Amino acid sequence: MPDRDPYPHPLPDTDLDVLVIGAGPAGLALAADLARYGVRCQVAERRPAPRPGARCPNVWRRTMYAYARLGQPPHELRAHGVPMRSKVFHVGDRTAAVSLLEDADDQQWPYPLLVRQDQQEEYLTALARQHGCPVRQGVTATVLDQEQDCVRVELSTPEGRSEVLRAAWVVAADGAQSLSRAAAGVDWKVRGHDGVAWWQVDAGISGVELPPEREDLFHAPYSHVGMVPLADGRHRVFLASGTEDATVRPSFGDVERLFREVVGPEARLHDPQHLWWHTPVEGRAEQWLTGRVILLGEAARVFPMPVHGLNTGIQDAANLAWKLSAVVQRHASVRLLDTYEVERRQVAEVLMERGERVLRAGVAADPEATLGPILIEGSPRIRTEPAPAYEASPLTAGAERFAEGCAGQWIASWPVHTPAGVWTVSTLQSQGQWLVLSPSRMPLSVTHPLNPRVVNRAQLAGCNRLMITIVRPDGYVGAEIPFGAGRSAQRSVLEYFDRVAGGG
Ligand SMILES: Cc1cc2nc3c(=O)[nH]c(=O)nc-3n(C[C@H](O)[C@H](O)[C@H](O)COP(=O)(O)OP(=O)(O)OC[C@H]3O[C@@H](n4cnc5c(N)ncnc54)[C@H](O)[C@@H]3O)c2cc1C
């Protein structure tokens, strides 16, 4: 295996392999994943108790697969959620229904699901603990300094007790205002989006017909109102309006006034539970890795609209977890961690751009013109979730790059026909393993420190793939390798794993 590490691997006298600062969804998902791989980690969270409040109400499909990877039983997620099957746009007298079916072939998670963020954080905390990772609440972490082989962090409790801990790696998942980012000397670039106010409230709705399991969006000049059903019978109502000063805190009366203006005079809100207001701002950390400190979730980037952060954070964590565990366990060079930033920063940039577009469309002067294509098409299908692929990643290799289902694409939900029944790629990876699907006649055997699971032709029924497909632990195709003659395919597979272990 190539040895190109700029840093030595952690020395045995560190207290911990990884300290995760912040028990938001990104930090918790990472900690649960690392612990599942057997990494010694712990989470420090300055809040003494879980944060209440629905905040993010939804789970995208890829996020659900990330939950499944962590061992979250799908039925529990479903039991606390509402599937979101369609979106209906109302513009003047016109309406257009749009299906949110992400993938008709996906038997497990064909639609996005609505689950409150506090519920999701409860699951993630339980998963982290279940895998052996302590989540310490009421503990504030302060990054002191970085040494060659570790980071020194001070942990303090509200009672004034403090300890200094030496962690081989620190993951700063401490949110948009991250002090760890500042302590690590990373610049934070912020850009405001003037002229748009974003409000959200959880409330009951009357005076307007809202069938279950769908999102309704009402557009008017310079404003729009959307609503999605929550499991407790309320709706999450989000309202955007063009305004001179988006920093003004609205009252519930202001929210209801705008709601009725846009939705109709009969419409009413009642039993409000939470009211949020946002001044749309986007933020980017200049680097996501510096020495032994890695930024994750909103500590690394903040989207202009608060509608991607949780889902993307959990997916960022799924990308980082297998890489960091391979580095900690000495199966890969630290250079592998650079690919976390390469891959996930690109996803963040796409979402920044998309967020800005949606933000502007929501307060367009002429919504009919802006939403024209949707209104004309009638019932198209749109995706709630952007579908990133890692085509340009240094970890992507393969002859059929860029085609659907090929190198760089996410295929966790794909069915794999085995003599025992139809499984998904993700089920075959239940231990968070690399997967090598080999429909070649010649059985493949791969022994490598990255510990891939090989599924040979005899275990595949009716597989019509023409290549050996190597699937990364996060469900993306890493490489496609032609069968080739004799032992050359096997050699190519091993070379690919060596390349990953060397950092791409
Ligand atoms: C109303 C609303 C609606 C939203 N809707 C959506 C949506 O539809 N889809 C979506 O994907 N996202 C949505 N979001 C965004 C989502 O809530 C955030 O993006 C998400 O919480 C960010 O997760 P994170 O783990 O990166 O950071 P955070 O959740 O901010 O967690 C950071 C944690 O670090 C802790 N911390 C900070 N400093 C320290 C320290 N020094 N020591 C120890 N702990 C520390 C904090 O207490 C906090 O618990 C919404 C947000 C809001 C408010």
Q: What is the pLDDT of residues 383-395, one digit of tens each?
A: 777 788 998 899 9
Are 235 and 341 in the same domain? no
Q: What residue owns the CA closest to ligand 1's atom 53?
A: 55
In this prediction, residues 300-329 reach a mean pLDDT of 95
By residue range, what is the domain housing residue 462? Answer: 397-501
Same domain? For 490 and 401 the reply is yes
Q: How far apart are CA 417 and CA 458, in angstroms?
A: 11
**Ligand 1 within 6 A of 361 CB?**
no
Angle between helices 338-361 and 309-328 (to 10 degrees): 180
Taking alpha carbons only, the member of 402, 422, 324 closest to residue 20 is 324
Q: Is the CB of 309 under 6 A from ligand 1?
A: yes
Cβ of 201 closer than 6 Å to ligand 1, yes or no, is no
Establish whether residue 181 lines the binding site of ligand 1, counting it when its CB lies within 6 angstroms of any ligand atom.
no
Residue 1 has pLDDT above 50, yes or no: no
3-state DSSP assignment of residue 118: helix
- Is the C-beta atom of 140 inside 6 A of ligand 1? yes
Lowest mean pLDDT among 149-153, 245-249, 337-341, 393-397: 245-249
Residue 128 has pLDDT above 50, yes or no: yes
Are 341 and 288 contacting, i.e. CB atoms less than 8 angstroms apart?
yes
Q: Are residues 145 and 161 in the same domain?
A: yes
pLDDT for position 88: 92
Cα-to-chain-centroid distance, residue 192: 23
Mean pLDDT taken over the chain: 89
Q: Over the stretch 198-220, which tens digit does the pLDDT of each residue have?
A: 999 999 999 999 999 999 999 99
> Is the CB–ligand 1 distance for residue 275 below 6 Å?
no
- Provide the residue type at 72 as one letter: Q
Give yes or no: residues 171 and 224 share one domain.
no
CB of 156 within 6 A of ligand 1: the answer is: no
Same domain, 29 and 134: yes
Kindly report, residue by residue over 392-436, the tens digit of the pLDDT.
899 998 755 545 558 899 999 888 888 888 888 998 887 789 999
**Ligand 1: distance of its center to the CA of 290 in Å?**
22
Strands (E), 79-210: 82-83, 86-91, 94-99, 113-114, 135-137, 140-146, 151-156, 162-172, 188-192, 196-206
Q: Is 174 in the pocket of ligand 1 (CB under 6 A)?
A: yes
Cα-based torsion angle of the residue sequence 388, 392, 394, 396 in order, rounded to the nearest 10 degrees: 70
24 in a domain, yes or no?
yes
Pair (55, 145) in one structural domain: yes
Same-domain status, 215 and 166: no
Report the pLDDT value the prediction gives residue 464, as an integer from 0 to 100: 63
pLDDT computed for residue 141 by the predictor: 97
Is 261 among the domain residues? yes
Nearest atom (ligand 1) to Cα of 299: 26
Q: When comparing pLDDT for 472 and 194, which is higher?
A: 472
Nearest CA to ligand 1 atom 45: 22
291 with 238, same domain: the answer is no
Structural domains in the chain (count): 3
**pLDDT higher than 50, residue 46:** yes
Residues sharing a CB contact under 8 Å with residue 192, sequence separation 6 or more, in sequence order: 279, 280, 281
Q: Closest Cα partner for 210 from 185, 250, 246, 237?
A: 237
| Cα 95 from Cα 33, distance rounded (Å) | 43
For the CA of 28, the nearest atom of ligand 1: 25
Residues 22 and 147 in one domain: yes
Question: Given this model, what pLDDT does residue 377 score?
Answer: 67
- Kindly state if the Cβ of 200 falls inside 6 Å of ligand 1: yes
Residue 264 has pLDDT above 50, yes or no: yes
With a cut of 50, say whether residue 7 has pLDDT above it.
Answer: no
Question: Residues 306, 308, 311, 312: is their CA dihedral positive or negative?
Answer: negative
Report CA(197)–ligand 1 centroid distance (Å): 20
- Asked whether the predicted pLDDT for residue 19 surpasses 50, the reply is yes
Quote the ligand 1 centre to 175 CA distance (angstroms). 6
Say how far apart CA 21 and CA 154 lie, in whole Å. 11
Q: Which of 254, 278, 302 represents a domain boundary (last residue)? A: 278
Query: Which protein residue's CA is at the shortest distance from atom 52 of ligand 1?
Result: 55
Residue pair 269/205 in contact by the 8 Å Cβ criterion: yes
Predicted confidence at residue 57, as pLDDT, reads 92
Q: 123 and 38 share a domain?
A: yes
Instruction: Please name the residue that has the structure tokens 């000049």.
Output: 221
Confidence of residue 11 (pLDDT cuts 50, 70, 90): very low
Other CB atoms within a 10 A radius of the CB of residue 312 amount to 27
**Which conformational region is residue 207 in: left (phi greater than 0), alpha (psi within -120 to 50 degrees), or beta?**
left
- pLDDT value at 254 more than 70: yes
282 within 8 A of 190, measured Cβ to Cβ: yes
Question: Of ligand 1's atoms, which has the minimum distance to the CA of residue 22?
Answer: 34
Residue 87 has pLDDT above 50, yes or no: yes
Verify that 238 and 200 share a domain, yes or no.
Answer: yes
Mean pLDDT is highest, among 188-197, 336-345, 386-395, 407-416, for 336-345
Q: What value does the mean pLDDT take over residues 65-76?
A: 89
- Judged by average pLDDT, the poorest of 11-20, 176-185, 370-379 is 370-379
Q: Which pLDDT value is given to residue 2?
A: 39
For residue 463, give the CATH number of its domain. Answer: 3.40.30.120
Q: Is the CB of 308 under 6 A from ligand 1?
A: yes
